């Protein structure tokens, strides 16, 4: 985190540094701080889809479910082949009780990237938040 802070001292408009610092904060479980960094990264670089995606996932972790789902839907609308957000949207919609829309997004997500069937990959490689992984697990186990 100190390295990203140094980069941001030199260039306070470096979206990648905010995004990477958000990843580091998320890795430490500091989700509120991660939300702020992801939002700043996305605001500085509006087409930085993964900054906005990580923002949505961090929002979900902090209990801001409605805003997380709204952000996910906007990303899927703008980038229909964005498997990560289709899978995340699937999980969030399933937990909210919207099974039909969840399943529709799931078929699109899996058609684009089958790794989202693997919870270990989602948790440890893609590094979704614990709440998002739990939501996907509920979908995959039909709970």
Q: How many Å apart are CA 101 and CA 89, to the nearest integer?
A: 9
Residue pointed to by tokens 């980038």? 79
In this prediction, residues 107-126 reach a mean pLDDT of 97
Q: What is the mean pLDDT of the chain?
A: 97
Q: What is the CATH number of the domain that holds 128?
A: 1.25.40.10
Residue 143 has pLDDT above 90, yes or no: no
Q: Tell me the residue ranges of DSSP E strands in 25-140.
A: none
pLDDT tens digits, residue range 38-93?
Answer: 999 999 999 999 999 999 999 999 999 999 999 999 999 999 999 999 999 999 99
Whole-prediction pTM: 0.94
Share of the chain above pLDDT 70, in %: 100
Range of the domain at 58: 2-140
Q: How many domains does the chain have?
A: 1
Phi, psi (degrees; rounded to nearest 5) at 96: -75, -5
Cβ-Cβ contacts under 8 Å for 83 (sequence gap 6 or more): 108, 109, 112, 113, 116
């Amino acid at each position: 985190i100190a390295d990203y802070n140094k980069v941001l001292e030199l260039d306070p408009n470096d979206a990648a540094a905010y995004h990477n610092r958000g990843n580091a904060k998320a890795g430490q479980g500091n989700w509120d701080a991660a939300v702020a960094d992801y939002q700043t990264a996305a605001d500085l670089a509006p087409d930085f889809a993964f900054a906005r995606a990580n923002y949505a996932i961090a929002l979900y972790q902090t209990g801001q479910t409605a805003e997380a789902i709204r952000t996910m839907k906007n990303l899927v609308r703008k980038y229909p082949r964005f498997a990560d957000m289709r899978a995340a949207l699937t999980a969030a919609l399933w937990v909210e009780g919207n099974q039909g829309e969840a399943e529709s997004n799931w078929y699109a997500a899996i058609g684009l990237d089958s790794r989202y069937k693997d919870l270990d990959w989602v948790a440890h490689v893609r590094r979704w938040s614990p709440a998002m992984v739990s939501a996907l697990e509920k979908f995959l186990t039909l709970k």
